[in-house]
Amino acid sequence: MFQKWKDRVTVTDIVMWMIGGTMLLLCLWGSVSTIRAGLYTSSHWIDFCIFGLAQGSIYALIATGYTMVYGVLKMINFAHGEVFMSGPFTGYFVAMAFWRSDFLDTHPVLGIIVIFGVAMFVSTMIAYFLEKIAYRPLRSAPRLIPLITAIGASFFLQYLFRGLYGSGINAYPDIEILEGFWMIFGIRVLKIQVIVIIAAVLLMLVLYNFIMLTKVGKAIRAVSEDKEAAALMGINVDAMISTTFVIGGMAAGAAGVLYALMFKQVHFFMGFIPGIKAFTAAVLGGIGNIPGAMLGGVFLGLIESVAPALFLDGLGIIAPYQLKDAIAFSMLVMVLIFRPTGILGERLSAKKA
Amino acid sequence: MKNLIRVFIAICFLFSIMAVPAVAGNVVKLEKGEPVHLAYWFVTSGPNTSLGMDSLRGAEIAIEDFGGKLKGHPIKLDGQDSMCGPEGGQAAASKIASDPSVIAAIGSSCSSAAKAGVPILWKMGIPNVSPSNTAPLLTDPASGPDFDGYLRTCHNDNIQGAIAAEFAYSQLGLKKAATIHDGSVYAESLQQVFSDTFVKLGGTITSQEAVSPGDTDMRPVLTKIASGGPQFLYYPMFIAESGHVTRQSKEVSGLENIALMSADGSFSPDFLKAAGKAAEGMYHSSPDFSALGDSYTKFLAKHKAKYGMDPEAPFHAHTYDAVMLILNAIDKVAVVSGDTLTIDRMALNKAMHETKGQKGLTGDLTCDENGDCANPKIAIYKTSMADIKAGKMSPKPFWKKY
């Protein structure tokens, strides 16, 4: 028995476990000393969690785009952050026009719906043509080539929008009905964050049900499992891939407007960091897996918001929020070491075998 | 065929030598008609564009006012985008340093770009004058010989941070403060000076937090700050991050009504766009333009006539003075012999460091051996609802020490 165990475990494994164990112990020790120090009351912790949930649900929406494209094409669409940026950046001009003409004050709900519509339309179009122009001609090329093309497309889109809309700072107007607080079960919650969380959850439900229950969704799943077999069954593979990009673009556009309503500022570079974070979320949850991407996004948002205060404060590290990205990415490394397929990732090899 | 290619390469090489002014050691020789080449490296893209473009306009007006010519040679100004960060600073400085015709550089906009870029320029013997780097370390003698070719016409943050602390402690009478910086050289050193002075005066610093450049969600870090119960929040960062902190501080329980203060890095109408209504009642420290004389009023008229707008950031006048400082010093050290103009960049650097009592828009400039040339007048400004509606930073100081 011992002999068998010894054969299976390599030195690398032991080092990895030690690293993982140390991280876990540090986190535990940090959390215990933070809580014992009593710096934060329970309402602070609730605030941290709500801020994290709102941010995380936006990551989750973007991450679904990454994960679906990976599912059907087995490539990382690094230009997805720019798809996310294009919608709210265009929506900004609509919002400002409405705001100047007082339309946003008199018909706020209609105004916001129009802004959503414009942003989702632009993001969808960008995603659709991105696939048609940049990725489709390279579909039979080796996997590295579309990846590099995606990075190139990302730069192209960033500088295209910089050229179109300028590189200065722009901010969405304040919309009255989205400001202020609601008391929910005695907890003071920002209206905008409640709206962001509810809207994101609704969109994700629609998206998930579309993929799981409709005929088109079924076809997309078939393409992601085996393109040739799907084609033999009479599925139009090209159309399904386009549809995937369209759905991803719509989710990204909606996420972009939610992001812009929450943080106000929009500029041509705004897609980069959320894009990287959403990619992290997709990998964290198991790339290719839609519920995984959603879970990964929410998890990442929560970690970013709660972990610096919870883990690092107790260890006596000053200015812990500067390290929130470091924590998020260490979390990714840990997940990849101990569960290379991500939290909800399926063991594809085992299933296919 | 092979020979032909060699000849072609040789000809190209010859042309490329002829096209560039001759540089021997650190001496630039300009033939008849060759321009006196100054290079700027401001931030000209991203959220801090207004900071760099404002400086660029000041520089253009200065060259125009100088007459556009120096001892019969036209003055040429071109430049690179230093993007307000170490990577951008390094790239911009490397590009400028690779051009042997550059006589002096003007920039950068942000201290972190300067920290990375100035040593690269100075390695090639290019002296540099900055109109807006305020971080103390750039002119600190302890920074070493890499910064020997560096001067600035703006204030040193040892002064700005101290004034902010005095304002908060003595004028507003607040005893508990917290700070946020973004890890940039500028913000980190400025908030440190503020904290040190504030503690020396008798106040308490409840926490010194930090975020990363490009962060948007400040609510968690603000919640952490709120747990310490400060009365005053000082965050001398750049426009985008300061805007997020300003807006989101109103949404975090415990911080809704505390006094907010930022510094010159975000003193721009773009900040009002970024922060919106939340900017009402907040303070900024920035150079005092109301104390400047007639020459500044004339400058403003020229600015309006040339660009159809008022200045957007606090450092146009400092850039004007920086360009004048360089041109006056070149004028002093340039040697004319026949049609050629010889400029020794080492002598130029020395001459700039020896500048005394030069009349500038921002006051009389006298440089010390470390490169600090300014005669700083820092005032505190307060933003009102009317300023936000007009989309302009308040032109009138709210408080000043002198």
Closest-CA distance of chain A to residue B63, Å = 26
Judging contacts by C-beta atoms under 8 Å, the chain A residues touching residue B227 are: 39-41, 44
Residues B276, A174: C-beta atoms closer than 8 Å: yes
Residues B273, A170: C-beta atoms closer than 8 Å: yes
Planar angle of CA A185, A191, A196, nearest 5 degrees: 105
Of A169, A174, A308, the CB nearest to B277: A174
| pTM beyond cutoff 0.90 | no
Predicted confidence (pLDDT) per residue in B367-383, tens digit: 999 999 998 889 999 99
Judging contacts by C-beta atoms under 8 Å, the chain B residues touching residue A313 are: 224
Calculate the alpha carbon distances from B264 to B13, B133, B197, B367 in Å: 47, 11, 18, 22
A183 — contact with chain B (CB < 8 Å)? no
pLDDT band at B290 (very low <50, low <70, confident <90, very high): confident
Query: What is the average pLDDT across B6-20?
Result: 55
Interface size between A and B, measured as CB pairs under 8 A = 101
Q: Considering only CB atoms, which residues of chain B are within 8 Å of chain A?
A: 45-47, 49-50, 183, 208-212, 214-217, 219-221, 223-224, 226-227, 239-240, 243-244, 247, 251-253, 270, 273-274, 276-277
Q: Say what percent of chain A tops pLDDT 90.
A: 59
Judging contacts by C-beta atoms under 8 Å, the chain A residues touching residue B389 are: none
Judging contacts by C-beta atoms under 8 Å, the chain A residues touching residue B192 are: none
Closest-CA distance of chain B to residue A40, Å = 6
CA proximity to B138, closest of B156, B120, B162, B164: B156
Predicted confidence (pLDDT) per residue in A47-85, tens digit: 999 999 999 999 999 999 999 999 998 889 999 999 999
Q: What is the pLDDT of residue B6?
A: 66
Q: Is the pLDDT of residue B1 over 80?
A: no
- Give the separation between CA A147 and CA A173, rounded to whole angstroms: 37
Contact B352, B151 (CB under 8 A): yes
Judging contacts by C-beta atoms under 8 Å, the chain B residues touching residue A55 are: 217
Judging contacts by C-beta atoms under 8 Å, the chain B residues touching residue A40 are: 224, 227
Judging contacts by C-beta atoms under 8 Å, the chain A residues touching residue B184 are: none
Q: Is the pLDDT of residue B21 over 70?
A: no
DSSP assignment of A70-95: HHHHSS--TTHHHHHHHHHHHHHHHH
Q: Is the pLDDT of residue A182 over 90?
A: no
Closest-CA distance of chain B to residue A273, Å = 8
Q: Which fold has domain B157-289+379-400?
A: Rossmann fold (3.40.50)
A159 — contact with chain B (CB < 8 Å)? no
Judging contacts by C-beta atoms under 8 Å, the chain B residues touching residue A52 are: 220
Of B217, B251, B274, the CB nearest to A190: B251
Residues A188, B239: C-beta atoms closer than 8 Å: no
Predicted confidence (pLDDT) per residue in B324-373, tens digit: 999 999 999 999 988 899 999 999 999 999 999 999 999 899 999 999 99
CATH 3.40.50.2300 maps onto chain B at 20-154+315-371, 157-289+379-400
Judging contacts by C-beta atoms under 8 Å, the chain B residues touching residue A304 are: 217, 220
**B244 CB-contact burial (10 Å; exposed 0-12 / middle 13-18 / buried 19+):** buried
What's the DSSP call for residue B235? -
Tell me what percent of chain B is helix, strand and coil, each rounded to the nearest 5: 45, 20, 35
Predicted confidence (pLDDT) per residue in A116-175, tens digit: 999 999 999 999 999 999 999 998 899 889 999 999 999 999 999 988 988 778 899 988
Predicted confidence (pLDDT) per residue in B136-194, tens digit: 999 999 988 999 999 999 999 999 999 999 999 999 999 999 999 999 999 999 999 99
pLDDT band at B2 (very low <50, low <70, confident <90, very high): low
What's the whole-number average pLDDT of chain B? 90
What's the DSSP call for residue B372? B
Q: Which two tokens stand for residue A337?
A: 């070491």
Q: What is the pLDDT of residue B18?
A: 47
pLDDT band at B126 (very low <50, low <70, confident <90, very high): very high
Closest-CA distance of chain A to residue B48, Å = 7
A316 — contact with chain B (CB < 8 Å)? no
What part of A 238-267 touches B (C-beta under 8 Å)? Answer: 259, 263-265, 267
Q: Is the pLDDT of residue A37 over 90?
A: no
Q: Is the pLDDT of residue B15 over 60?
A: no
Q: Say what percent of chain B tops pLDDT 90.
A: 73
Of B220, B252, B273, the CB nearest to A309: B220
Residues A171, B252: C-beta atoms closer than 8 Å: no
Residues A264, B270: C-beta atoms closer than 8 Å: no
Residues B217, A167: C-beta atoms closer than 8 Å: no
Please tell me the class of the B20-154+315-371 domain. Answer: alpha beta
Query: What is the average pLDDT across B250-278?
Result: 91
Q: What is the pLDDT of residue B3?
A: 65
Name the residue of chain B whose CA is nearest to A317's CA.
B209
Residues B276, A264: C-beta atoms closer than 8 Å: yes
Residues A40, B227: C-beta atoms closer than 8 Å: yes
Name the residue of chain A whose CA is nearest to B228's CA.
A39
- Give the separation between CA B191 and CA B237, rounded to whole angstroms: 9
Q: Is the pLDDT of residue B396 over 60?
A: yes
Closest-CA distance of chain B to residue A74, Å = 30
Name the residue of chain A whose CA is nearest to B239's CA.
A169
Query: What is the average pLDDT across B100-125?
Result: 93
DSSP assignment of A8-56: H--HHHHHHHHHHHHHHHHHHHHHHHHHHHT-S-HHHHHHHHHHHHHHH
Q: What is the pLDDT of residue B77?
A: 95
Predicted confidence (pLDDT) per residue in B35-83, tens digit: 999 999 999 988 888 899 999 999 999 999 999 999 989 999 999 999 9
Q: What is the pLDDT of residue B10?
A: 61
C-alpha B73 chain-centroid distance: 28
**A238 CB-contact burial (10 Å; exposed 0-12 / middle 13-18 / buried 19+):** middle
CA proximity to A243, closest of A219, A277, A209: A219
Q: What is the pLDDT of residue A349?
A: 43
Q: Is the pLDDT of residue A353 over 50?
A: no
Residues B209, A273: C-beta atoms closer than 8 Å: no
Q: Is the pLDDT of residue A201 over 60?
A: yes
Judging contacts by C-beta atoms under 8 Å, the chain A residues touching residue B226 are: 44
Predicted confidence (pLDDT) per residue in A208-263, tens digit: 999 999 999 999 999 999 999 999 999 999 999 999 999 999 999 999 999 999 99
Cross-strand partners of A170: A266
Sheet holding B259-262, edge to edge: B204-210, B176-181, B232-234, B259-262, B283-287, B378-382, B399-400
What's the whole-number average pLDDT of chain A? 90
Checking ipTM against 0.85, whether it exceeds it is yes
